[in-house]
A and B are shown apart, each in its own frame.
Chain A
Amino acid sequence: MKIAVCVKQVVTREWPLRVDDARTWVQDRDASFEMNEPDAYALEEALRLKEQHGGEVVVCSAGPPRVAQVIREALARGADRAIRVESNALATADSGMVAEALAAAIRDEAFDLVLTGLQSDDQGFAQTGVVLAELLGISHATIIMEVQVVEGGLRVKRELEGGWFQWVSMPSPALLTIQSGINQLRYATLRGIMAAKKKEVRVVEPPADLAPHHEILELYVPEKAKQTRLIEGSPVEAATELVRVLREEARVI
């Protein structure tokens, strides 16, 4: 089974985010970056499918040169090779443009299965995978929590709201958007990190004529709807006061 996994590089969770001067994105020049969380689960799922059914796992990422970091990480975890769509123009791309760039980069490889995360931790449009399926002309299903390979295609467990699930079958080739928690992640070993250095990374340019589908006019901190009473002081003082408030004012303990 020939599997492509699309991974996005996002600013790490712990990074203190600040809006940039243009007020349309965050200051990320000096930020540290990591693999978008559900994408890490998508990669793990691809590696497991390869272990069971054989084949190849190819990791794809689009963005400026620094996305090489998440590609290295994916290769160290076990992906066989990589495709990097590199362009600084992608730095202002929306999900539609990214999907078009990814589609152009992987179309000719005729993958049996394409995996993406269900949404990104930064913009979170939750569109790139679905749009990519349409551009590749293949079937798809979203928010997937289990993948079974069956005769002629796939049977997958789709998460629904409020703890419900549903099995869906479809022919290959197909695209699935993977939900966090589908499996338990493995981490890169030293051997994996060494081996990654020798793996092929194909760098391609995105198509020249990508047109945006939307524009961020302004990024800002939301207005607070509720007045939170912050309890100050040392940990001991704050804890004592909180217990008093919960007992005497809120009367919930």
Chain B
Amino acid sequence: MILVIAEQRDGVLHRASWEPILAAQQTGQPVQVAVAGVSLASVAGELAAAEVEAVLTIEHPALESYTPDGFVAVFADVVTGTQPDLVFLPHTYQTREFAPKLAVRLGRSLITDCIAVKQRDNRLAFVRPMFQGKFVADVAPTGPAPHFASFQIGAFRPDAVTRGATAADIRAVDITLEAAVIRQTMEPPFKEAKQAVDLTQAERIVAVGRGIKAQEHIALVETLAAALGAEVAASRPICDSGWLPMDRQVGSSGQTVSPKLYLALGISGAIQHLVGMKGSATIVAINKDAEAPIFEVADFGIVGDLFEVVPALVAALNAEGGGSSGAGHP
């Protein structure tokens, strides 16, 4: 049996929860889904629509807000009690925080950020990126079962989950939880002050990454954006360095955009960036490294030095007098 740990907040299921459910279904093994919190009836009902053996609810007043200590304590009991062969989770910010501790407390192996499961030489292997997506590796867990694996968000299609003919059993799991084991006090989530730019509305975006090398070169990018009638966006390191404000960051910890045109300059294409822009209609990458993962998602690419290509692009756009007019030119 594969136990999937689903994630919810305030009675709303995290969509990424469907992905480890699908990964588990695809192995052909029976699947159970566990979810922790308070007032879980609606989330459990939603999960029970999937073809799974059972949905296990773990309710306790001390689980009203997630804490790593609370979740490690209850899921350690649930895993010990249900004795699964494997435990699958989504690789969310929350599981990044508690899953390694859970696996170690039980003396088990955890392979994070997986994108596929395969059989290899009669062993179960998990496929995961390495070196920021430049490579992938087949990684096999060692030691006693259950082995834990977390799945990268977006690696599986949530809508491909097999639904059951009838709703699965929903079972409340009896747990004891000493409130004293919980050392963290969580405050409610918040967003920073309102963002000055809403990149989600932009039709065209020119995004810049660390390939730009220095703050003074950002002007070059702004010139290109002006010639294209585009907004300027950036990868995280550019915002971390303060070269552009945080509200121009695209990716898992920034904005998710899907413009008509996304032009990536000197961006390698780490997964945390890709999740924020891969829904764009047309993606263009300019990068000096032909093997950069950004070319995985690009429709058009130029392998070259952005300091040579960008001025040429600006010249070509301006020569045609077009700017963003879109008027047909030969």
A residues near B (Cβ < 8 Å) are 11, 13, 17, 19, 24, 26, 37, 95-96, 99, 118, 121-127, 130-131, 133-135, 139-143, 159-171, 180-181, 184, 211-222, 224-226, 228-231, 235-236, 238-240, 242-243, 245-248, 250-253
B residues near A (Cβ < 8 Å) are 68-69, 92-93, 96-98, 100-101, 104-105, 108-113, 120-121, 123, 125, 129-143, 183-192, 195, 204, 210, 228-229, 236-237, 239-242, 252-256, 260-261, 281-282, 284-285, 290-291, 293, 295-305, 308-309, 312-313, 315-317, 320, 322, 324, 326, 328-329
CB distance from B141 to the nearest CB of A (A): 5
CB distance from B183 to the nearest CB of A (A): 4
CB distance from A180 to the nearest CB of B (A): 5
When chains A and B are docked, how far (Å) is the Cα of A95 from the Cα of B130?
14
CB distance from A39 to the nearest CB of B (A): 14
**Taking CB as reference atom, which chain A residue is nearest B190?**
A165
Verify A252–B303 contact, CB threshold 8 A. Answer: no
Verify A240–B296 contact, CB threshold 8 A. Answer: no
When chains A and B are docked, how far (Å) is the Cα of A89 from the Cα of B167?
51
Number of A-B contacts (CB under 8 A): 248
**Taking CB as reference atom, which chain B residue is nearest A143?**
B93
Verify B184–A235 contact, CB threshold 8 A. Answer: no
14 residue pairs from A and B, CB less than 8 Å apart: A37-B237, A121-B131, A121-B132, A134-B101, A161-B93, A162-B253, A164-B190, A169-B185, A213-B110, A215-B140, A238-B309, A239-B309, A247-B328, A252-B260
Verify B131–A163 contact, CB threshold 8 A. Answer: no
CB distance from A253 to the nearest CB of B (A): 6
Give the most central of A24, A163, A171, A219: most B CB within 10 Å: A163
Residues of B within 8 A of A218 (CB): 137-138
CB distance from A99 to the nearest CB of B (A): 8
When chains A and B are docked, how far (Å) is the Cα of A10 from the Cα of B130?
12
Verify A242–B284 contact, CB threshold 8 A. Answer: yes
When chains A and B are docked, how far (Å) is the Cα of A229 from the Cα of B69?
49
- When the two chains form the complex, which single residue of A224, A226, A242 contacts B313, counting CB atoms closer than 8 Å? A242
When chains A and B are docked, how far (Å) is the Cα of A121 from the Cα of B132?
6
Residues of A within 8 A of B192 (CB): 163, 165
* With contact pairs A169-B185, A225-B296 given, residues A239 and B92 touching in the complex (Cβ less than 8 Å): no
Verify B191–A230 contact, CB threshold 8 A. Answer: no
Verify A246–B282 contact, CB threshold 8 A. Answer: yes
Residues of B within 8 A of A215 (CB): 139-140, 142
